Structures are given as C-alpha cells and as structure tokens.
Amino acid sequence: MDVVALHRFVTAAGRSWDDVTVVDAGFVGLRHALNVCRAKPAVVVSGADPAELARGLAGWRRALVVESAAGLSIVDPADAVARQWSEPGAILCLAEQGFAPAGEGWALPDGDFAQRDGMIAVAEVRALVLARLAPRPGVLVWDVGAGPGAIGVECARLGAAVVAVERDPVQCVRIIANASAHGVDVRVVEAELGDAGELPRPDAVFVGGGGADVVRRCVRSGARRVVVATPDLDRVLPARDALLEAGYAVEGSQVAAARLTGGTLLATNPVTVLWGVKKA
C-alpha cells in the first residue's frame, strides 16, 4: 500500500485524509474490506476490484470514487458492477450522508433507545450478548428479530457492519431512528428472516426471542458465532439443540439483575442467553 499515492488520491477526490478509514483488501481480504465499507462513512480501499467491491455493497447506500487509467470516476455501485475497469487503483467508498458513533462505552442505558415496553435486550443482557458476539471493524452481524435494534446499534457503535431483520414496520422505524440518534449505519430489512432474500454472509448472528426454527435458519448462514436471547424457558432447550445439531459448542447463562433505584433494588425480568461458537 503506497500511503503517499493514497493520500494524493484522497486529496484529488476532495476529502480530508483525517476523515477516511484506510483498508488494504489485498492484506485483510475482500469480506473484511466490504464490512468496513458497510459500517463507515468514508473508506479508502486498495487492492480490490471495483466491480467486486460494488457487488458486495448492494443494499447499502454508497457511492464510489474509482481511480483508473481514465482518471477519477464517481459511480453508483450498480453502475460500477457493469463497467469494465482499466488498470483500477484505489477506491473511495462514501455513504450518502456522514455519521459517527456518539458517546462512549457499550451496554447503554435502556432510555437511550426509542422502544416499546418489554424490550428483551435490556442493558444487562446487552452487555453479555455483545461480549459473545464480539463485534468489531471488519465483521458483519445479523440482528434477527431486531425489535428496536438496540443490539444492532451497539454492534455498529463498536465498528461492525450490521443488518437488522425485523418484520414489524413500527419497529423498523424505531431501528432507523435509534441508528440515526447514535450516529451509525444499520441496514434494515423489513421481513421475516425466511423472506429476507439473499443477505451477505454474517460473522455473528443475534437472535431475539429464541425460536428454534429461526435459530436453524441462522446457523445455515455459516456464522461462526450465534447468540440467542429469550425470556421464555420453553424455548431454551430447543434453541440449544438447534445449535448443537449444527456443530456449535454451546454455553448459556440466565441474566437476572436487580437495579438500584433510589434506595430500592428492583428486579428486571430474567432472560436466558445462549451462545454457540462453530467448532473448527
């Protein structure tokens, strides 16, 4: 990676070097580079074919500035897929609007999210779920049965690319509002997982609600980590069995917290969290 040449390219594209994330697809791989582009507002990618990169950005609102023998070209990803590129160089991937995660830390207070009553993924649950999902730059997380999207938003704040799958249109509006409020980009798919069409392969999946049929669909994605949260004890063993049958090593814990409110400890509803890690 020629840093001086990349600096010139960024300047010629009208961006500040301080505002971009730089990733070498030849070193970290195309999937890693794609997930950074899906998560960050401005990414310079070297060592990638523009058409391949653009193909992986379907569903994300992005524009590409491509360096080639013909000079700089600003293209929509759909157009980039169809073009023949002569001696392509660096690529600048830009979101339609800028965003940046707001605040610090994780397992944010429940009140930081627009939600309806009875959210499963309260802060104490989110702390454990995030630890098991291991979100970070370069990975893709599915948030399935996303509800208001608190898990997905928190993963995005930690640098992961996120696809939230949620059938309830009201909750989808909440996901968009929560992502905007926290300065992150979460792709929202309004559907049941079985009707969501082809989604990019995830590195980790969170399943809200814990239905075994949904867990079985999720493990077919090939994700290395699958985390399930459910308040319903009747769903725990079927979800565990679905993970075991798919070759995951499974552990779990029931989270039952008591919050200090004034001078009183008030109990939250217990939620069981299962996590499976794909065996090598």
Tell me the pLDDT band of 279, cut-offs 50, 70 and 90: confident
Q: Torsion angle of alpha carbons 155, 157, 160, 164, nearest 10°?
A: 50
What is the per-residue pLDDT for 118? 75
The Cα 238–Cα 4 span in angstroms is: 55
Domain membership flag for residue 174: yes
Distance CA 156, CA 154 (A): 5
Are residues 73 and 139 both part of a single domain?
no
In the chain, what are the helix, strand and coil shares in percent, each to the nearest 5? 35, 25, 40
pLDDT, the chain, mean? 94
- One domain for residues 74 and 130: no
pLDDT digits over 91-121, tens only?
A: 999 998 888 888 889 999 999 999 987 788 9
Torsion of CA 162, 165, 168, 173, to 10 degrees: 20
- How many residues would you count in the chain? 280
Residue 34 lies in a domain: yes
Domain range for 251 is 110-278
In a domain, 180, yes or no: yes
How far, in Å, CA of 215 to CA of 211, rounded?
6
Dihedral sign from CA coordinates of 116, 155, 77, 202: negative
Q: Give the residue with greater pLDDT, 111 vs 86.
A: 111
Residues 63 and 175 in one domain: no
Query: Residue 264 pLDDT more than 80?
Result: yes
> Which tens digits make up the pLDDT trace of 137-192?
999 999 999 999 999 999 999 999 999 999 999 999 999 999 999 999 999 999 99
Q: How far is CA 24 from CA 36, 45, 73, 211, 261, in A?
A: 11, 6, 20, 39, 49
pLDDT band at 1 (very low <50, low <70, confident <90, very high): low
Are the C-beta atoms of residues 71 and 85 closer than 8 Å to each other? no
- Per-residue pLDDT of 212-238, as tens digits, reads 999 999 999 999 999 999 999 999 999
pLDDT for position 103: 84
